[in-house]
């Protein structure tokens, strides 16, 4: 928390589908250790926003800058003094490097983020190999450590995710995305589709790992209770625009926009 | 900028205060009810000196909880200033950025609410230790301090490793108090902390409050129980005086 510069700076960013904007005029800064929730109904533009942040969709307007230099001074591209990358100017190769070393992505559907017929240990070890780890014993030990951290029983390390429950698959996906110590993790509805009790356990796990590792997280969710539980700040999206933003407690307890008041009033009280 | 590095006096913050609320107005606009305006507070003004406990009084519905939520940042204000002495500088919580409010909560403002809001699976010991860990304390040391606090509030040791969701209302409340008092933040907000406690535990809470006051912690409290209120209050702010609805009816 000593470093006062944001990790990610988004200014008036937008993406066009043909002549229609999927999202537009989005601005925010994100610091290490912060969890930002993006909430809204389907069609609100929250997935499009996640798409441009994670460079799966083009930034057609505005700018998204990512700071590559780590606290220890390493990580800048090719020793260049400029460490603030304008994402839209990066080559595919540079974006791939970010995915290997800096960014994680936890999908709603674990099948999109995991290799379903490779062992759990293999799924967690792969990102290490991509980062140059060669010693089998070390890779295995690290994978074991991470599977333990996400509470997968040690005896399941050689089983494939295809044989796992939905909650276990999500936990393996989280291990695969955190094992290489990324700095920024995108999460797309990571807990929807799970039973409520499994959801609570997963949220608790995400919350404690994020705090321990000082990660920056952008989590897209339609569930305000998820936002309340794990995010520091919240953006509310509607029709491709951010209509309200601020401290999560404030957005949920004292919503200003009519639409946010409607969303908050439709939360099931529990 | 919301930080003001100049002296307290030139910012309108009286010497020796931890919190200064100045001419705050708040109206809720209920968009789902034909944009009905619900005025809550008008001209709210008071100070919390260090080492003093200021109690919010006034009948229920006068906006006492709204004041608490405003000082903690859960509610915004329409105008006025909520000045906090945060790490040697003055921060106006009305205009502060979310990130500054989070920093203020981490190191300056503690909050003991009436109900414990904890993540479902976290053991009581870690729920209490969490504010220390968030501030960078060693986990083992944080747990030791948390266990001292839980013991003082007579939570049986066999419960420490269990999540508070399974506890009785009174036990949850005591875990909540332990969590609020475990750190040494210079401002503590107490929102009916003793509502579901027996006389013995109310006594422990009074003791904790007095210890912190003696250390110079400033407090803002709502107390349902007259015995606790009388034991700790240095001053009372009648929120009803600043109730926007009341002022309108007089005018």
Instruction: Give me the total of CB pairs closer than 8 Å, taking one residue from chain A and one from chain B.
Output: 55
Q: Does A27 touch chain B (CB under 8 A)?
A: no
Asked if A253's CB is within 8 angstroms of B74's CB, the reply is yes
pLDDT of residue B5: 43
**What backbone phi and psi angles, to 5 degrees, belong to B21?**
-100, 125
pTM score of the predicted model: 0.90
Q: Indicate if the pLDDT at residue B110 is higher than 90.
A: yes
List Cβ neighbours of B205 (8 Å cut-off, separation of 6 or more): B153, B177, B193, B194, B197, B228
Q: Indicate if the pLDDT at residue A141 is higher than 70.
A: yes
Q: A23 pairs with which residues across the strands? A: A15
Cα separation values, A252 from A246, A257, B148, Å: 10, 11, 34
What is the average pLDDT value for chain A, to the nearest integer? 91
pLDDT in tens, B228-240: 999 999 999 999 8
pLDDT in tens, A204-232: 889 888 888 989 999 999 999 999 989 99
pLDDT of residue B118: 66
Overall average pLDDT of the A50-75 stretch: 84
A-chain residues near B119 (CB < 8 A): 200, 203-204, 207, 229
Q: What is the C-alpha separation between B99 and B20, in angstroms, rounded? A: 21
The count of other CB atoms within 10 Å of the CB of residue B117 is 8
pLDDT confidence of A74, banded at 50, 70, 90?
low
B-chain residues near A258 (CB < 8 A): 31-32, 35
CB–CB of B99/A31 below 8 Å? yes
Residue linked to tokens 């190191």: B107
Q: What is the C-alpha separation between B232 and B51, in angstroms, rounded? A: 11
pLDDT in tens, B25-68: 999 999 999 999 998 999 999 999 999 999 999 888 788 999 99
Overall average pLDDT of the B146-163 stretch: 95
Q: What is the C-alpha separation between B235 and B45, in angstroms, rounded? A: 13
pLDDT of residue A268: 56
Overall average pLDDT of the A22-29 stretch: 96
Number of helices (H), then strands (E), in chain B: 8, 10
pLDDT of residue A200: 83
Please name which of B23, B36, B57, B41 lies closest in space to residue B247, comparing C-alpha atoms: B41
Task: Take residue A25 and report the two structure tokens written for it.
Answer: 């005029």
Q: Which of A177-191, B40-54, B128-142 has the lowest mean pLDDT?
A: B128-142
The count of other CB atoms within 10 Å of the CB of residue B35 is 9
Asked if B73's CB is within 8 angstroms of A256's CB, the reply is no
Residue linked to tokens 């601020």: A246
Q: What is the C-alpha separation between A135 and B149, in angstroms, rounded? A: 47
CB–CB of B243/B62 below 8 Å? yes
pLDDT of residue B248: 66
CB–CB of A169/A110 below 8 Å? yes
Q: Please report the beta strands in A41-93, taking only residues with DSSP state E, as ranges in sequence order.
A: 61-67, 84-86
Please name which of B163, B156, B165, B148 lies closest in space to residue B208, comparing C-alpha atoms: B148
Highest average pLDDT, of B7-21, B94-108, B160-174, comes from: B94-108
Taking CA–CA distances from A250, the nearest residue in chain B reads: B74
A-chain residues near B102 (CB < 8 A): 232, 247
- Interface ipTM > 0.90: no
CB–CB of A64/A8 below 8 Å? yes
pLDDT of residue A1: 41
Q: Does B78 touch chain A (CB under 8 A)?
A: no
Helices (H), B50-194: 64-72, 98-107, 124-134, 139-152, 169-181
pLDDT of residue A73: 54
Q: Indicate if the pLDDT at residue B9 is higher than 70.
A: no
Q: Which of A74-83, B14-23, B104-113 has the lowest mean pLDDT?
A: A74-83
Taking CA–CA distances from A32, the nearest residue in chain B reads: B99
Q: What is the C-alpha separation between A231 and A7, in angstroms, rounded? A: 17
- 3-state SS class at B133: helix
pLDDT of residue B6: 43
Residue linked to tokens 């020793």: A79
Cα separation values, B60 from A167, B57, B117, Å: 45, 9, 23
Please name which of B54, A253, A47, A75 lies closest in space to residue A263, comparing C-alpha atoms: A253
Q: What is the C-alpha separation between B122 and B133, in angstroms, rounded? A: 14
Torsion angle, alpha carbons of A81, A82, A87, A90, to 10: -50
Overall average pLDDT of the A2-27 stretch: 91
């Amino acid at each position: 928390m000593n470093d006062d510069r944001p990790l990610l700076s988004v200014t008036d960013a937008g993406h066009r589908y043909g002549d229609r904007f999927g999202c537009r005029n989005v601005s925010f800064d994100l610091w290490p250790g912060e969890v930002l929730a993006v909430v809204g109904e389907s069609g609100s533009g929250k997935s499009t926003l996640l798409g441009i942040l994670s460079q799966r969709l083009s930034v057609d307007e505005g700018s998204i800058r990512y700071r590559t230099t780590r606290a220890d001074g390493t990580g800048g591209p090719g020793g260049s003094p400029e460490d603030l990358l304008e994402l839209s100017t990066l080559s595919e190769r540079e974006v791939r490097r970010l995915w290997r070393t800096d960014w994680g992505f936890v999908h709603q559907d674990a099948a999109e983020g995991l290799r379903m017929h490779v062992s759990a240990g293999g799924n967690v070890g792969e990102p290490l190999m991509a980062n140059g780890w060669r010693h089998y014993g070390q890779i295995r030990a690290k994978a074991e450590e991470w599977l333990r951290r996400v509470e997968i029983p040690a005896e399941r390390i050689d089983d494939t995710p295809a044989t796992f429950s939905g909650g276990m698959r999500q936990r393996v996906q989280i291990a695969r995305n955190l094992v290489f110590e990324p700095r920024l993790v995108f999460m797309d509805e990571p807990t929807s589709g799970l039973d409520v009790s499994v959801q609570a356990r997963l949220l608790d796990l995400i919350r404690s790992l994020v705090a321990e590792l000082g990660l920056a997280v952008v989590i897209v969710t339609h569930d305000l209770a998820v936002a309340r539980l794990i995010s520091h700040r919240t953006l509310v999206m509607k029709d491709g625009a951010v209509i309200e933003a601020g401290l999560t407690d404030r957005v949920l307890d004292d919503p200003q926009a009519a639409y946010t008041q409607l969303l908050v009033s439709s939360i099931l009280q529990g | 900028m919301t930080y003001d590095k100049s002296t307290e006096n030139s910012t309108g913050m009286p010497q020796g205060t931890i919190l200064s609320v100045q001419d705050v107005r708040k109206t809720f606009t209920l968009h789902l009810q034909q944009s009905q305006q619900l005025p809550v507070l008008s001209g709210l003004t008071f100070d919390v000196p260090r080492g003093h406990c200021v109690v919010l009084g006034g009948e229920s519905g006068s906006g006492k909880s709204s004041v608490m939520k405003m000082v903690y940042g859960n509610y915004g204000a329409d105008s006025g200033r909520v000045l906090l002495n945060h790490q040697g500088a003055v921060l106006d919580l009305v205009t502060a950025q979310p990130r500054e409010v989070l920093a203020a909560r981490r190191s300056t403002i503690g909050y003991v609410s009436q109900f414990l809001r904890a993540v479902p699976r976290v053991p009581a010991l870690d729920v209490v230790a969490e504010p220390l860990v968030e501030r960078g304390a060693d986990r083992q040391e944080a747990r030791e301090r948390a266990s001292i606090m839980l013991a003082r509030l007579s939570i049986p040791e066999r419960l420490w490793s269990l999540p508070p969701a399974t506890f009785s209302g009174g036990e949850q409340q005591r875990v909540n108090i332990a969590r609020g008092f475990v750190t040494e933040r210079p401002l503590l907000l107490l929102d009916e902390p003793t509502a579901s406690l027996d006389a013995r535990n109310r006594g422990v809470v009074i003791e904790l409050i007095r210890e912190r006051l003696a250390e110079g912690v400033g407090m803002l409290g709502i107390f349902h129980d007259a015995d606790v209120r009388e034991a700790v209050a240095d001053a009372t702010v009648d929120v009803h005086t600043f109730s926007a609805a009341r002022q309108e009816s007089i005018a």
